[in-house]
Amino acid sequence: MTKNKNLVVSLLLVVMLVLAACSGGGNDKTEGTKKEANGKNPAADRGNEIVVGINSDPQSWDPIDTFLLDWSTVAISVFEGLVERDLDLELQPGLAESWEYLDDSTLEFKLRQGVVFHNGEPFNAEAVKFTFDRLLGEEGQKGPQYSNYTSIDSVEVKDEYTITMKLNSPDPVLLTKLAGYGAVIVPPGYVTEVSDEEFNDKPVGTGPFKMTGYKRDQEVVLEKNEDYWKEGLPKLDKVTFKIIPEASTRLAELQTGKIDIMKRVEVAQTKTVKDTNFLKLEEVGTPTVFSLRFDTANAPLDKKEVRQAINYAINKDEIIEEILGGYGIPISTYQSELSFGNNPDLKPYAYDPEKAKEMLKAAGVAEGTELDVFIPGNDGNFKEITQAVAFYLEEVGLKMNINSVDNTTLISDLIPNGKAGHMYRQGWGGWTLDFDNTAYLMYHEGEQWNPSFKDEKVEELLAAQRTTVDQDERHKIFMELTTLLYDLAPEVNLYQAVDLYAVNERLENFQPPHEDRMRLEEVTVK
């Protein structure tokens, strides 16, 4: 066993002991709790409702204001788009019954009739036009969703239940985007009448559940939409989402029956879940990928060779096996194996610390050079990963200073403003299942989450793949783009996520989502 592996294993053991201590592991009280937990199901008498423990509050429920997966976990039950994607990631009709291209730049949608918003407003062509005028207008341009839909020039009403979407350029992934977050349909009357703050806190959509209560950073309450257009759905009367940032607290709430579903189970907690007789551990592969991205404006990371050296210095396979317990998939570029554009010919940077040392020396990086890294404080798995990375970098002469901050602050403030140090954790959902969305928002100059990276050839290829709907041609472009990005190394690509959920056995028909969008309309309880 290498010295590095000893360090990583030792680190993992220490963190697991800390987690056990925090939950009372090893004392008489814990043993008593375990016996009680393995008796009667403590949530058995809750009735026809469930409680879900989630880790973060997106702070705004307005769909044009967010790009966070945590928003989608809840809001998928409140809002709907013209197109939807099912739990198997297949595109399906949503609020549009059908669509067709009339010509290369005109897309016509036939809308579903008889649908009403939660406040009683009718869903119709005017609501669709209002939604896209808002998304593409002055208000929408201030938010992170706008850049996904710039290929839409206008939306016009043909009749009460038909709209035409005029495009200013080809968009090969437009339908997938329409199944995403920003393009969900909002009620014109309500949005116009209330303030921005009120819509942020009291959203109205057409989904299977209505949001009837929201306490920021505490809980979200959804109740059954009795007028939902899908006959017989939803099955549940009520769903409450409890915002519980700490995984150890979420697990405690699960064990005592206060929640029925725990999102973001950490690897160190999987045995506890498996050992509790009324709980099930569910795992699902996701399009989400994780990296430590470089701010290339900060020396010495402005040099490609230094970024490559750091990639060689880190044993990603060992991190996946020793820290993630195997719940992760290696990646070579910043996309999952589910993504159109993934390059199977590229292999992750090999673990070669000696090569890393040589490259750092050749680049003039002095031993002991310090690098600041920023990570979200409530992600226990990534804390362990970052500590392991710090050990690897120490072996090649670099010192990493780890800074834990609030996740919303990191994503919404520090990263966009170039204040997240030399490196920062970046998790990306890859929700379109097409590299276009990830690559454009990560590498196109001037994007919200790209504070500094720029390359002329990358810009050229990003533009080229958006000018054609020929998927073979796009694939060819993506192979060139991924090869170039692999060489430029704008991040350390760590792994594709495998999500873990803990579920009370009283739930039936719950399927863990590939991309955080928790579909609950079919869920029942026994």
CA 203 from chain center: how many Å?
Answer: 21
CA pseudo-torsion sign 489, 491, 494, 495: negative
Other C-beta atoms closer than 10 Å to the C-beta of 248 total 17
- Among 135, 179, 139, 173, residue whose Cα is nearest residue 153: 135
Confidence of residue 380 (pLDDT cuts 50, 70, 90): confident
> Is 223 part of a structural domain of the chain?
no
Same-domain check for residues 272 and 383: no
Helix then strand then coil, in percent of the chain rounded to 5, is: 35, 25, 40
70 or 224: which leads in pLDDT = 224
- The span from the CA of 453 to the CA of 295, in Å, is 7
- The span from the CA of 46 to the CA of 182, in Å, is 34
Same-domain check for residues 322 and 410: yes
CA pseudo-torsion sign 144, 150, 154, 157: negative
Over residues 491-516, the mean pLDDT reads: 96
Residue 69: which residues within 8 A CB-CB, separation 6 or more? Answer: 288, 427, 429, 431, 515, 516
Q: Residue 404's pLDDT is what?
A: 97
Confidence of residue 28 (pLDDT cuts 50, 70, 90): very low
> Is 214 part of a structural domain of the chain?
no
Q: Residue 251's pLDDT is what?
A: 98
Phi, psi of 200 (to 5 degrees): -60, -40
Same-domain check for residues 275 and 293: no
Cβ atoms of 312 and 355 within 8 Å: the answer is yes
pLDDT for 30 beyond 60? no
pLDDT for 5 beyond 50? no
Tell me the three-class secondary structure of 75-121, residue by residue.
HCCCCCCCEEECCCCCEEECCEEEEEEEECCEEEEEECCCCECCCCC
Residue 102: which residues within 8 A CB-CB, separation 6 or more? Answer: 108, 164
Confidence of residue 3 (pLDDT cuts 50, 70, 90): very low
Cβ atoms of 120 and 127 within 8 Å: the answer is no
- The span from the CA of 103 to the CA of 166, in Å, is 10
Mean of all residue pLDDT scores within the chain: 92
Structural domain range at position 278: 3-51+241-283
Same-domain check for residues 143 and 263: no
The DSSP symbol for 129 reads H
- Whether a cis peptide bond, with omega within 30° of 0, leads into 344 is no
The number of domains in the chain is 3
CA distances from 161 to 85, 100, 418 (A): 22, 14, 45
Helix, coil or strand: residue 209: strand
Over residues 89-111, the mean pLDDT reads: 95
Q: Residue 38's pLDDT is what?
A: 56
The DSSP symbol for 68 reads -
* Domain-ending residue, one of 258, 283, 308: 283
CA pseudo-torsion sign 272, 278, 284, 288: negative
> Is 524 part of a structural domain of the chain?
no
Cβ atoms of 207 and 224 within 8 Å: the answer is no
Instruction: Output the domain CATH number for residue 480.
Output: 3.10.105.10
- The span from the CA of 60 to the CA of 55, in Å, is 15
Same-domain check for residues 458 and 340: yes
For the residues of 480-526, what is the DSSP string, one character each? HHHHHHHHH--EEEEEEEEEEEEEETTEES----TTS----TT-EE-
Same-domain check for residues 269 and 329: no
Over residues 85-98, the mean pLDDT reads: 93
Same-domain check for residues 448 and 314: yes
| Separation of first and last alpha carbons in the chain | 49
- The span from the CA of 27 to the CA of 325, in Å, is 25
* Domain-ending residue, one of 182, 206, 230: 206
Q: Residue 89's pLDDT is what?
A: 86
Q: Residue 170's pLDDT is what?
A: 85
pLDDT for 408 beyond 60? yes
- The span from the CA of 320 to the CA of 224, in Å, is 40
CA pseudo-torsion sign 118, 122, 128, 133: negative
Q: Residue 1's pLDDT is what?
A: 40
Most confident of 31-40, 336-345, 430-439: 336-345
Instruction: Output the domain CATH number for residue 85.
Output: 3.90.76.10
Phi, psi of 298 (to 5 degrees): -100, 120
> Which stretches does DSSP call E strand in 298-438?
328-329, 369-376, 398-405, 423-428
- Whether a cis peptide bond, with omega within 30° of 0, leads into 234 is yes
Q: Residue 344's pLDDT is what?
A: 96
Same-domain check for residues 154 and 256: no
The DSSP symbol for 146 reads G
Same-domain check for residues 297 and 272: no
282-325 pLDDT, tens digit each: 999 899 999 999 999 999 999 999 999 999 999 999 999 999 99
> Is 236 part of a structural domain of the chain?
no
Angle between helices 380-395 and 304-313 (to 10 degrees): 110
Residue in this structure with the two tokens 């901050």, named with its chain if needed: 405
Which tokens belong to 338?
A: 């589910």
> Is 393 part of a structural domain of the chain?
yes
> Is 194 part of a structural domain of the chain?
yes
Task: Output Rg (C-alpha) for the chain, integer angstroms.
Answer: 24
> Is 441 part of a structural domain of the chain?
yes
186-195 pLDDT, tens digit each: 999 999 999 9
Same-domain check for residues 326 and 275: no
Same-domain check for residues 473 and 411: yes
Q: Give the burial class of 171: count Cβ atoms within 10 A of its Cβ; 0-12 exposed, 13-18 middle, 19 or more buried.
A: buried
Same-domain check for residues 47 and 106: no
- The span from the CA of 460 to the CA of 444, in Å, is 10
> Is 266 part of a structural domain of the chain?
yes
